Chain A
Amino acid sequence: MKSISAKISIAVYVIAASTFIFSSYAYKAYQEMDRYQDDLHLSLYLRGFAKEIENKPSLKENIAYFKKVRKNVFPEYRSIAISNIVQALNANSPQLQAKRFKEFQESERRFYNETLPKIEVAKDFFKKYVLLSVLSPLIGIFLFSVYLKRSIVHPLQKLSQRMMDFLVDRYTFKFSTPENNEIGDLQRTFNSLAQKAINSMDELKALDRAKSEFVSIASHELRTPLTSIKGSLGLLSSGIVGDLNGESLGLIRIAEQETDRLVRLINNLLDLAKMESRTFKLQTHWHSLQTLLESCADSLLGLAQTAQVRIQILRPPEDLEAKFDSDRIQQVITNLMSNAIKYSPKGSSVTLRYFVNTQSALEVDIIDSGPGIAESDQQLIFEKFRQATQPESRLVKGTGLGLAISKALVEEHGGTISVRSESGKGSTFYFTLPEWRKLESIQKDAA
């Protein structure tokens, strides 16, 4: 018998049956005890009655009563003693009567002595069976609960633990030998589900591998011809192989700029592909925001000077630290800043600031006084290959992927990126980082 429901039925029947059997035994013992007690009462009554009539003239009713009682007494010696009394009474001999009454008292005493231990035995049986009829269901229920725990609750807990494990990506396990019952069926079903999930996971991994392989090959194949083109153009424009006239040099410069743009585009595409294929890993550490913004500002100084735009950083009252991948967040800020510089009018400034916002996340703002972005475009610009308006061609052209990459990078850090802007009133691009702390508190900790 393997099914749990069958075992449960059997257990219930066994408990009920044992209770019934023991209680019926107890009832029988009680009845026996009762009967013996009744017999004793009758015997004592008879003895009293016999004493009463011994010294009185015998009445016909008394003789009739003895005759009647004689049929209902056990064992035989008692009914013989009563019969003898009846005979003696009928014979009307006082001597014989006295003798018979004495004999009767003796036989009743003997009966009393014989019956008392029988009552004790019946009493013991009664006690024993009452106890058993109470204990047997108690023990049965206790054993049954142990069985339920062991064969249902524990396996269910184990199964639920393994499901939790599965949720957090620990999926390399199996139930060694699922039992041949309902719980076992559940485990087998879960195993099949897990196997199915693992299979699809493997397929996904294979797809991911194929994708990163493709990305790697594509990057190699695209960069190799670009290396020759960029190299040739660089050699021509630098005059290493001879001087060119002004017009030719201008054309070569255009080709060079566009080649550089193509290189950036490929790099950005590869970045994006890496992020999407989940092979991308952040190296997060605690960094000071001030240091980060200063180094971003430094790296864009050249671009800012060409565009005649000033960069200013607004410090909060206390310096803040955040946990992030320095290279990647630098990439985000540099990208947002170069956009800001590109779209800013000459003589204006691009402002960087950082603070803890109302949602208690650390927010970094990049504020420009450019043409601004229409509300309808504000979400679109974070998609791939979307630019609201073409920037002035005086500066480096964008690839249309910068904001998409920035968005992916910020979201990888658990933050959000967005823009506040009105047409004609400049834009504020901002992003948040969820993990930050005050620099002061760290110094206190160290001290």
Chain B
Amino acid sequence: MKILIAEDDQNISTIAKLVLERVGKHEVHLVADGRAALDTALSQSFDLIILDGMMPELSGPEVCRMYKEQKQNASPVIFLSAKSTPQDIAQFLDLGVGYIQKPFNPQTLCQQIETILKAA
């Protein structure tokens, strides 16, 4: 799969990229803020977009909303966030196909993504 990861914390994006590339054998593209995430997601096509909840420029939910408005046949979006209030989770599930709570378990990340995509 070709996956776009938008994550402002470089350490987390490095680890996520490593896991998805080594374990899941996916092709991973990294961006570090919401604006870049939106631009990249609109200009290229991905099989999956993973968005951090809080990012500079645009937040994950904002990126997702604008992306879905502007792109036909939008790819599935999964949120990866440390936020865990019921309102936040409700918003993530409303906009995207799923939500992965930080800190995530690197061994099961690929599995988690597969489960979410199957359910969607």
Docked CA distance A232–B16 (Å): 10
Q: Known contacts A219-B83, A220-B82: does B18 contact A241 (CB below 8 Å)?
A: yes
**Which range holds the interface residue count of chain B?**
20 to 34
Interface flag for A240 (CB, 8 Å)? yes
Interface flag for A48 (CB, 8 Å)? no
Q: Known contacts A223-B103, A227-B104: does B83 contact A216 (CB below 8 Å)?
A: yes
Which residue on B lies nearest to A281, using beta carbons? B86
Interface flag for A212 (CB, 8 Å)? yes
B105 touches A234 (CB 8 A): yes
Residues of A within 8 A of B22 (CB): 240-241
Docked CA distance A238–B54 (Å): 29
A223's contact among B11, B82, B107, by CB below 8 Å, is which?
B82
Number of residue pairs A-B, CB distance < 8 angstroms: 69
B12 touches A270 (CB 8 A): no
A residues 191-230 in Cβ contact with B at 8 Å? 212, 216, 219-220, 222-230
Contact with A along B87-115 (1 / 0, CB 8 A): 01000000000000011111100000000
Q: Known contacts A216-B83, A220-B83, A227-B9: does B103 contact A263 (CB below 8 Å)?
A: yes
A231 touches B19 (CB 8 A): yes
Interface of A is mostly: helix
Interface flag for A235 (CB, 8 Å)? yes
B103 touches A231 (CB 8 A): yes
A232's contact among B15, B83, B88, B105, by CB below 8 Å, is which?
B15
**Which range holds the interface residue count of chain A?**
20 to 34
Q: Known contacts A228-B12, A230-B103: does B18 contact A235 (CB below 8 Å)?
A: yes
Residues of A within 8 A of B102 (CB): 223-224, 226-227
Docked CA distance A216–B102 (Å): 13
Residues of B within 8 A of A229 (CB): 103
Docked CA distance A212–B22 (Å): 39
Q: Known contacts A223-B102, A224-B9: does B84 contact A235 (CB below 8 Å)?
A: no
Interface flag for B85 (CB, 8 Å)? yes
Q: Known contacts A219-B83, A220-B83, A224-B82: does B12 contact A235 (CB below 8 Å)?
A: no
A235's contact among B15, B82, B103, by CB below 8 Å, is which?
B15
Give chain B nearest CB distance to A30 CB in angstroms: 88
Residues of A within 8 A of B1 (CB): none
B103 touches A227 (CB 8 A): yes
Residues of B within 8 A of A238 (CB): 106-107
Contact with A along B10-29 (1 / 0, CB 8 A): 01100110110011000000
Which residue on B lies nearest to A238, using beta carbons? B107
Give chain B nearest CB distance to A401 CB in angstroms: 16
Q: Known contacts A235-B18, A235-B19: does B9 contact A230 (CB below 8 Å)?
A: no
Docked CA distance A252–B74 (Å): 40
Docked CA distance A267–B82 (Å): 11
Q: Which residues of B contact A (CB under 8 A)?
A: 9, 11-12, 15-16, 18-19, 22-23, 54, 82-85, 88, 102-107
29 pairs of residues in contact across A and B, judged by CB atoms under 8 Å: A216-B83, A216-B85, A216-B88, A220-B54, A222-B82, A223-B102, A224-B12, A225-B11, A226-B103, A227-B12, A227-B15, A227-B82, A227-B103, A228-B9, A228-B12, A230-B105, A230-B106, A231-B11, A231-B19, A232-B11, A234-B106, A235-B15, A235-B18, A235-B106, A240-B22, A240-B23, A259-B103, A263-B103, A274-B85
